[in-house]
Amino acid sequence: MTTTELSTLVPAGTWTVDPTHTTIGFVARHMMVSKVRGSFGEFSADVTIADDPLRSSLTAEVQMASLDTGNADRDGHLRTNDFFDIEHFPTMTLRSTGFEPAGDDFVMHAELTVRGVTRSVDFDLEFAGTGQDPWGGTRAGFTATTTINRKDFGIEWNTALETGGVLVGDKVQIELDVQLVQS
């Protein structure tokens, strides 16, 4: 898809995230043999779609206490200083720094801040489409994924397994499935 095609499908302007139709999630390897999925239930974002979509912007903030992996004990451990240290770092932030075409999709360059550490990351960004909702509003959908190394953000806790390997993998996939509502 070209940026011209995208600009005809997604009107320029201010957009808000629909939290009931958006998922901010992650996937990490557990015991070297399976994956654990988690998500965050409380977040906000400001999105401005520019006339030239490549000049659009996004800022987002995630409340780390809203972490949910489906296991209360694991969630409690992830909130401690071993991982996210939410007492000292209650939010995670994302700020776009640019967009560029990548085949039929796009790349979103961004700065991700976790535990007070900011790193540049690139998200594979896919436009899912736009549509009119039953209330007369315009909605747009996007998915974005990237893989980070958690140690780059100061998240180093681990334990060795007797069978070899470690309990928690270093690579973490971040998955954003976002529905926007035009303001």
With H, G, I as helix, E, B as strand and everything else as coil, classify residue 134.
Answer: coil
Q: Domain of 25: which CATH number?
A: 2.40.128.110
Q: What is the pLDDT of residue 106?
A: 94
**Mean pLDDT, to the nearest integer, of 57-75?**
96
The model's confidence at residue 90, banded by pLDDT at 50, 70 and 90, is: very high
**Mean pLDDT, to the nearest integer, of 25-31?**
85
Distance of CA 179 to the CA centre of its chain: 13
How many domains are there within the chain? 1
Q: What is the pLDDT of residue 124?
A: 97
**Mean pLDDT, to the nearest integer, of 156-169?**
77
Range(s) of the domain holding residue 90? 3-182
C-beta separation of 175 from 27 below 8 A: yes
Model pTM score: 0.90
